Amino acid sequence: MRQSIEDGVTLEIVYEGRTHNAEVADTAGMDAAFQDVFSDYKVQERLAILGYGSRDAYLESKTTIAAKAKDMVTHYLTHVFPNGYKAQIVATSREAAVRYKKYVDAALVEAAAALEKSNPEKLDIEMVKRMKTDVIISGSHNDELHLKAYTDGTKHETTIKSFKLPFGSEEEGIKGDIGIVIVNNMLLTGFDAPVEQVMYLDKIIVAHGLLQAIARVNRVSGPAKDKGFVVDYVGVGHHLKKALDSYDEREQNEVLDVLSFPEEELRELRARYAAIMEFLKKQGLTDLTDHDAFFDLFYDEDLRFEFMSLFRKFTKCLNVVFPSKEALNVMGDYQTLMEINVLAGKHFRDERLSMKGIPPKLRKITDAFLESRGIEVKVEPISILDEDFQKEVNSRTRTKTKAAEIEHAIRHHLDVELDDDPDLQASFAEALKKILEEFKDNWNKIAEELEKLRQRIIDAGKEPTYGLHRKKQMPMFRMLRKETFGDAELDDDAISSLVSLTQNLFNEVERELKLTGFWESIPARNKLKADIQKVLLQAEFAKLPRLVKNRAHIISRLMEIAEKNNDTILYAS
């Protein structure tokens, strides 16, 4: 089971008890918490004090269910719903399951009204209002009407399909509005719904049944689902060894090894927070508002990656326990680190340093914080072609930071904007490499030379195209020029010949690419290569220097450009 977690097939489960341990002397705790009905210790005496004659009477009590339902809804809206996941309630009986629906629905209405007055976690109030619950129980011939309403198999199928769909989605006329399903015996084994993250356990289950039940929440489902939750309202958590007593000790330990408990999660949060702060301190970064200092540090890609790794682990722990008191205590520093993360992502054009992968529960809060700081997450970094680029660079206080901003903006431009023109891309990449090697650590000179290179890139976008399409045909033209004339100046006749050759070759390529499945067909590709060779060997082109001699290499380069720019050739306007 632990291996399955480490392999990413299943998730660890956080097991949280909501009952007072009956076997521990703590009168105040007994008054404040739900009763541990798993334990036989003075059970009749304890329940009699509360006015109940049996376990079932206590677990089916409307007063008990109303209180638990409100607690469940609070937990669900706080920990699970913000990330878009769903819940299952396991009731002690069919009667209790039906009663739960009434009180859970009422608690949701009450919660929505409270959120309209105060919504610090930025929950989707309209979705809370639209959320539905349903009961799935088995039936018998003698069922009373209030039970029979929830025993229809066809209705069960619709409910299950709605439950498995994400909130806000629709499939075959069924909307994903069911957020909580309430069961007694059904859906506890063999039910696979990755969208389910929490099970509220209000039924005594032991041995294999317990293991099967809690496994409903350990299915992997998106980056925001770091762990599953089981919230225990009957006291099984205080007596897990006893609940699993049909297993031998090795099997018991294997089960316990995949469970964690809230106090363990809080310790993990403290450790992850300490680790990232210690990393920054070790690098001499104690002022979290000195963004340029962070940019200088992150110029070293190994240190940048180490920060990303530590921040990702910190985020994962925070997502599990937020908004506990300890989580709120570190939220200020987390938001500041998120600001650094986003700004560094823009500075280095590094998509790994972004809001991607931040769970929605934390994302809504951090988005609001970044907005308050004037940082627009969805706005792309300014392009090197933009007339305000240099103004943006000059806002930096350190020369190294300025140079790094130009360098990574150029790298981004070459990777994204010149991806369809490998020869132009390669020439500028070589120029960039030469600058960094020649003036290593001389940041003033590097910044100066990088600005010159940026201007060259801008000028290249303004070069004459001789009537050729800049995106569709110029990459072919540049390749042909380099393979025939190299870096030599071209006279009008040479330009005219290369333009004509480019147009002829482009027509051959475009015609063949229009064929369905061209790149999967070896005969089709061989035919295009043969057609290209015929063009190259035409008398008017064969006189071009090195063309005939290097025709095999040129054909290979042309096929490479055609495959890389397939969509541009066929669809660019």
For 382-428, the three-class secondary structure string (H helix, E strand, C coil) is: CCCCCCCHHHHHHCCCCHHHHHHHHHHHHHHHHHHCCCCCHHHHHHH
Percentage with pLDDT > 70 across the chain: 84
Instruction: Place 73 in a pLDDT band, splitting at 50, 70 and 90.
Output: very high
Of 40-44, 174-178, 245-249, 476-480, which gets the smallest average pLDDT?
Answer: 40-44
Of 108-112, 147-151, 221-225, 503-507, which gets the smallest average pLDDT?
Answer: 221-225
Instruction: Place 423 in a pLDDT band, splitting at 50, 70 and 90.
Output: confident
At residue 336's C-alpha, the angle toward residues 334 and 337, to 5°, is 65
Please report the pLDDT score of residue 272 as a whole number.
Answer: 94
Q: Above 50 in pLDDT, residue 29?
A: no
Q: Residue 6 class from Cβ within 10 Å (0-12 exposed, 13-18 middle, 19+ buried)?
A: exposed
Per residue in 366-413, pLDDT (tens digit) is 877 777 777 665 545 667 777 777 787 777 777 887 788 888 888 887
Instruction: Place 41 in a pLDDT band, splitting at 50, 70 and 90.
Output: very low
Please report the pLDDT score of residue 23 as a whole number.
Answer: 37
Alpha carbons within 13 A on the beta-carbon side of 557: 19
Please report the pLDDT score of residue 383 as a whole number.
Answer: 72
Give the mean model confidence (pLDDT) for residues 157-176.
Answer: 94
Give the mean model confidence (pLDDT) for residues 355-360.
Answer: 77
Task: Considering only residues 192 and 523, tell me which one the structure prediction assigns the higher pLDDT.
Answer: 523
Please report the pLDDT score of residue 444 as a whole number.
Answer: 85
- Residue 382's contacts (CB-CB under 8 Å, 6 or more residues apart) are 388, 389, 392, 409
Give the mean model confidence (pLDDT) for residues 242-265.
Answer: 62
Percentage with pLDDT > 90 across the chain: 38
Instruction: Place 31 in a pLDDT band, splitting at 50, 70 and 90.
Output: very low
Of 23-32, 245-254, 471-480, which gets the smallest average pLDDT?
Answer: 23-32
Give the mean model confidence (pLDDT) for residues 83-101.
Answer: 94
Tell me the C-alpha distance between 199 and 90, whole Å: 7
Q: Above 80 in pLDDT, residue 419?
A: no
DSSP class of 124? -
Tell me the C-alpha distance between 554 and 544, whole Å: 13
Tell me the C-alpha distance between 479 and 476, whole Å: 5
- Residue 376's contacts (CB-CB under 8 Å, 6 or more residues apart) are 370
Give the mean model confidence (pLDDT) for residues 432-446.
Answer: 85
Q: Above 50 in pLDDT, residue 336?
A: yes
Tell me the C-alpha distance between 397 and 293, whole Å: 10
- SS3 category, 202: strand
DSSP class of 307? H
Q: Above 80 in pLDDT, residue 226?
A: yes
Task: Considering only residues 129 and 251, tell me which one the structure prediction assigns the higher pLDDT.
Answer: 129
Calculate the average pLDDT of the chain.
Answer: 83
Tell me the C-alpha distance between 346 and 363, whole Å: 18
Q: Which helix (H) or strand (E) holds 489?
A: none
Residue tagged 């240099």 (tokens) = 390
Please report the pLDDT score of residue 554 as a whole number.
Answer: 94
Would you give the distance in Å from CA 455 to the centre of its chain?
A: 37
- Residue 392's contacts (CB-CB under 8 Å, 6 or more residues apart) are 382, 405
DSSP class of 166? P
Please report the pLDDT score of residue 42 as a whole number.
Answer: 47
Q: How large is the greatest C-alpha to C-alpha distance in the chain, in angstroms?
A: 107
Task: Considering only residues 354 and 3, tell me which one the structure prediction assigns the higher pLDDT.
Answer: 354
Distance between first and last Cα of the chain: 55
Return the beta strands (E) in 92-141 as ranges: 132-136
Please report the pLDDT score of residue 247 as a whole number.
Answer: 54
Instruction: Place 25 in a pLDDT band, splitting at 50, 70 and 90.
Output: very low
Tell me the C-alpha distance between 407 and 409, whole Å: 5
Tell me the C-alpha distance between 273 and 313, whole Å: 9
Of 210-214, 218-222, 274-278, 534-538, which gets the smallest average pLDDT?
Answer: 210-214
Please report the pLDDT score of residue 54 as a whole number.
Answer: 57
DSSP class of 525? H
Give the mean model confidence (pLDDT) for residues 162-186.
Answer: 93
Of 109-123, 247-261, 278-292, 438-452, which gets the smallest average pLDDT?
Answer: 247-261
Please report the pLDDT score of residue 454 as a whole number.
Answer: 85
Instruction: Place 195 in a pLDDT band, splitting at 50, 70 and 90.
Output: very high
Q: Above 60 in pLDDT, residue 266?
A: yes
Task: Considering only residues 18 and 255, tell me which one the structure prediction assigns the higher pLDDT.
Answer: 18
Please report the pLDDT score of residue 26 as a whole number.
Answer: 41
Instruction: Place 22 in a pLDDT band, splitting at 50, 70 and 90.
Output: very low
Instruction: Place 30 in a pLDDT band, splitting at 50, 70 and 90.
Output: very low
Tell me the C-alpha distance between 116 and 351, whole Å: 35
Please report the pLDDT score of residue 244 as a whole number.
Answer: 54
Question: What is the sign of the dihedral through the CA atoms of 180, 182, 320 and 330?
Answer: positive
Give the mean model confidence (pLDDT) for residues 29-43.
Answer: 46
Q: Above 50 in pLDDT, residue 21?
A: no
- SS3 category, 534: helix
Q: Above 90 in pLDDT, residue 161?
A: yes
- Most confident range (mean pLDDT) of 90-99, 227-236, 246-255 is 90-99
- SS3 category, 461: coil
Q: Which helix (H) or strand (E) holds 436?
A: helix 422-438
- SS3 category, 135: strand
Q: Above 70 in pLDDT, residue 569?
A: yes
Omega of the bond prior to 381 within 30 degrees of 0, cis?
no
**CB under 8 Å, gap of 24 or more: what pairs does 352-355 form?**
352/308, 353/298, 353/304, 353/308
Q: Above 70 in pLDDT, residue 206?
A: no
Position 506, amino acid: F
Give the mean model confidence (pLDDT) for residues 309-318.
Answer: 91
Q: How many CB atoms lie within 10 A of CB 263?
A: 9
Give the mean model confidence (pLDDT) for residues 329-357.
Answer: 82
Give the mean model confidence (pLDDT) for residues 295-315.
Answer: 90
Instruction: Place 440 in a pLDDT band, splitting at 50, 70 and 90.
Output: confident
- SS3 category, 204: coil
Task: Considering only residues 240 and 154, tell me which one the structure prediction assigns the higher pLDDT.
Answer: 154
Q: Reply yes or no on domain 2-260 having CATH 3.40.50.300.
A: yes
- Most confident range (mean pLDDT) of 10-19, 38-47, 375-384 is 10-19
Percent of the chain that is helix, strand, coil (3-state, to 5): 60, 10, 30
Give the mean model confidence (pLDDT) for residues 226-247.
Answer: 68
